[in-house]
Amino acid sequence: MPTFQLKINGASHSVEADADTPLLWVLRDNLDLVGTKYGCGIAQCGACTVHMNGNATRSCTTTVANAQGMEITTIEGLSENGDHPVQEAWKDIDVPQCGYCQSGQIMTASAFLENNSSPSREEIRSAMHGNICRCASYNSIEKAVEVAAKKMN
């Protein structure tokens, strides 16, 4: 199996995997970074969202080969102490129900707020539309992104 060099959460990792292996499974199975979740495998639900060079990216359809050379951030590396403004807002609002999709929601929201620090409600709703929450915590997600935006300003 070929070896790939990945830069994840500021650290370098050398992983052996087939070139077509999605980054998602390398994170989860090879590197024990299980905060990034599997939901659909076809970039439709957003549970696997990570940052690549700062952009929200679906790790289930990004191959390990294409992830080489990128700065990858996962939920585990979003902040050192779980205190990124988006994580703080998620706690303030008590967003999660089952909690499974929330790392993907947080990664989508945090990348979005980097590019738009004072979004409107409609911009928040559009930005979060790609992430499914089966428990339907959407009202809380919307509110938490607003709270996070205020914290970041």
Partner 1 sequence: MKTSNKISFSRRSFLQTSALASGGMLVGFNLFTACKEDVKPPVDLSLLDYNDFNAFIKISDEGKVTIFAPNPEIGQGVKTSMPMLIAEELDVAWEDVHVVQGKLDTKNYTRQVAGGSQSLRQGWTPLRQTGATARQMLVNAAAAKWGVSASECKTNKGVITNANGDKLGYGEVVKEAASLEVPEDVTLKDPKDFHIIGQDISNVDIDEIVTGKPLFGLDYKQEGMQYASVLRPPAFGQKLESFDDANARTVNGVNDVIKFGDKIAVLANSTWAAMKGKKALKATWTQDSKAESTAFHDETLLGLLNGDKFDTRRKDGDVIKAFAEADQVLERTYETPFVPHNCMEPMNFFANVTTDKIELVGPIQTPAGTAGQVARMLGRDASEVTLEMTRMGGGFGRRLYGDFALEAAEVSHLAKKPVKVIFSREDDMAAGIYRPAIKYRIAASIKDGKLTGYHLKEAAINGNMYGLIPNFFPAGAIENYQVDTANYKSNITTGAWRAPYTNVLASCEQSFFDEIAEAMGVDRIKLHMDLLENVKRTTDERIQYSPERLQGVIKRVVKESNYGKEKDVYQGFAVYYCHNTHVAEVADIIMDNGVPVVKKVTVAVDCGIVVNPLGAKNQVVGGVIDGIGHSMYGEITFNDGAPQSNNYDSYQLIRMLQTPQVDVHFIENDIAPTGLGEPTLPPVGGAVANAIYKATGKRLTKMPYMNNMDVEPVVG
User: Given the rule CB under 8 A, which residues bind partner 1?
Assistant: 1, 17-18, 21-22, 25, 28-30, 32-42, 44-45, 47, 74-76, 78, 82, 87, 90-91, 94, 96-103, 106, 125-126, 128-142
Partners of residue 58 on adjacent β-strands: 49
Nearest Cα to Cα of residue 128 among 97, 103, 100, 105: 105
Q: Give the shortest CB-34-to-partner 1 separation in angstroms.
A: 4
Nearer to partner 1, 29 or 114 (CB): 29
Supply the DSSP string of 61-118, one letter for each residue: SSBHHHHTTSEEE-GGGS-SSS--HHHHHHHHHT--SS-TTHHHHHHHHHHHHHH-SS
Q: Give the shortest CB-143-to-partner 1 separation in angstroms.
A: 10
Nearer to partner 1, 57 or 131 (CB): 131
Nearer to partner 1, 70 or 124 (CB): 124
